[in-house]
Structure 1
Amino acid sequence: MAEELEMQTEFAKINNIISALLSTHDAKVLSTDSAKALAAGSPFDKTRVELFEVLFDAIKDRYFVIRNNRNTDEESFRLFSFFESYFSNYIEGTEFDVEEAKAIVDSGIPMPRRDEDSHDILGTFKILSNRAEMMRTPTSPDELFAILSHRHSVLLEGRPHMNPGIFKSRNNRAGMTEFVDHQLVKGTLSQGFKYYAALTDPFARAIFMMFMISEVHPFNDGNGRIARVMMNAELVRADQSRIIVPTVFREDYILALRKLTRHKDPLAYINVMTKLHQFSDNLYGSDFTELKNYLATCNAYEEPSQAKLQIIERTIL
């Protein structure tokens, strides 16, 4: 057709582009980042990377209140880790009474007839209570992949059928949201890492990391939990208060994520995470009963339809 239409020059151009995309020609003829990534064997989800840029632009120069870590001793660090593990699993459907969850963590023994759910609590707590592990943050995409795989393998060690530590080999979705294609996971995370690495504020890095992992959904299961683990590792590294998402605030949290995903509006997400940081800054100390009761006064255990989160400031004596 090119011969008949006397469009040999145009044919040569498109032939070079297609060849470059198939890695059989010099990629210099390509102009877009997505095309170059495809040619390099690291294709990515262009729509998701645009979302990362939207969030990056919204937080890169924004001032966030510094909330220094109050759980400096090992006992209080572990107690916060327990409640973090409890709520992170509860909002994903692994529901225990808080006393039951405490007994599982204290004994290390799964509850009868709830072996997998018990291991979810234990696996999450095992990561979160390990201060050395939670001090690790990635300095390259490859290091990000390694940290994600290791933490996920511990998180879901009680569910071997979910391939703990291995990136998904099939696509996944939640409701109307279809997450990043399994063939684009590493490429999309690599592109997102560029924005993450350019951020300097610890809180900004934390909420960016959480959104990036949540949006990619790199594993078959446990993606929400691993995203929150990765977020809080950024805060532990910076010696700031970690973030807990209580049951009562689950819908606000999910809707804010959805608004950013579907409407490219980051404001609700930023506001929700800022509020959660303020709330979580009050969760300190090593007295289990005292902290459990404080969470009750904040309505933390309530269903979203039954109550609202109350932030009651505590004073260090």
Structure 2
Amino acid sequence: METGYYPLLATIDKFQERIRQHRPLAREAVLELKEDYRIVLTYSSNALEGNTLTLSETKAVLEEGITINGRPNRDHLEAIGHSKAFDYMYSLIGSDRISETDILMLHKLFYMAIEPEKAGVYRNCPVQITGSEYPVPEHKEITKLMQKFVTEMYTVKSKLHPVEYAARIHRELVFIHPFIDGNGRVARLLMNLTLLRRGYPALIVPKILRQEYIRLLEQAHKDDRPFIGFVAEQLNEAQRDYIRQFHI
């Protein structure tokens, strides 16, 4: 994977053309796909951060408003918050830019029920990422870095393969670490936003690959190619699932 992901991008392009030829989907299929994404992305993204809800429990919380006995209240709030942030992310698919306002709103919707005073605002204190040897920027630098982030990401969009672009959106936001918590979840929503805008299926990072995902993100401080390769692999798997689901 670490040296062979560029050929995989060519495979992804072929799969995407196959998907494109079988569109548009029926309205009912589009709505069903959106709800599938909401549940699976909410479950997987939260699970990567230690949330204990299972996939079926996440579905019950979101669809039926059920409280799962024995699960922390915060886990329920994270599921509900992520679902709201997902809805907002999905509403942005028709645009072609990512703004600071949008990023702040994604965080606000996810984090409002957990710590309302810290939701949708940049952190105002130092933080340290457990297990990382690389310090995150000082909090006084965040506003400038985020302004630079949204400008540069728009500038390079046309120069990169969509998979590389999505991976770098994710990487850069995590490295800036603008929020007190929830950075990974916002980064994964932004990554999927950029892919959905280009017609790709949503990408899921399975909980079972958590350690590899963290390791490659850490390595991306020096070399982001393996992380881009990892993203490419997960997207190709998402394409395969899409093709099986719709019998393409």
Q: TM-score, normalised by structure 1?
A: 0.64
1:202 correspondence with 2:162? yes
1:182 correspondence with 2:139? yes
Please report the RMSD computed on the Cα atoms of aligned residues, expressed in angstroms: 2.8
What is the aligned counterpart of 2:237 among 276, 279, 287?
A: 279
* 8 Å contact from structure 1 (residues 85, 124) kept in 2: yes
Cα distance change of structure 1 residues 314 and 252 upon mapping to structure 2, 3 Å threshold? farther
The DSSP-based 3-state class of the residue aligned with 2:12 is coil
* Structure of greater Rg: 1
1:107 correspondence with 2:64? yes
In the other structure, the counterpart of 1:150 is 105
Shift of 1:199: 2.2
Percent identity, please: 20
CA distance in 1, matches of 2:125, 2:94: 29
CA deviations over 1:233-286 (Å, ceiling 9, x no partner): 11121121121100111111111110111xx1122111111111112223449x
CA distance in 2, matches of 1:184, 1:138: 26
What is the aligned counterpart of 1:117 among 44, 59, 75?
A: 75
In the other structure, the counterpart of 1:133 is 91
Cα distance change of structure 1 residues 115 and 94 upon mapping to structure 2, 3 Å threshold? same
Q: TM-score, normalised by structure 2?
A: 0.80
1:98 correspondence with 2:45? no
CA distance in 2, matches of 1:226, 1:272: 18
Shift of 1:107: 1.3
CA deviations over 1:24-44 (Å, ceiling 9, x no partner): xxxxxxxxxxxxxxxxxxxxx
In the other structure, the counterpart of 1:232 is 192
CA deviations over 1:73-111 (Å, ceiling 9, x no partner): 111221122111101000101111222111101113443
* 8 Å contact from structure 1 (residues 167, 220) kept in 2: yes
* 8 Å contact from structure 2 (residues 42, 82) kept in 1: yes
In the other structure, the counterpart of 1:170 is 125
The aligned runs of 1:80-95 (5 Å cut-off) are 80-95=37-52
The DSSP-based 3-state class of the residue aligned with 2:240 is coil
Q: Which has the higher contact order (CA 8 A, sep 6+)?
A: 2
Query: Higher helix proportion, which one?
Result: 2
The DSSP-based 3-state class of the residue aligned with 1:171 is coil
CA distance in 2, matches of 1:65, 1:105: 32
The DSSP-based 3-state class of the residue aligned with 1:147 is helix
1:268 correspondence with 2:226? yes
**How many pairs were matched up?**
226
In the other structure, the counterpart of 1:51 is none
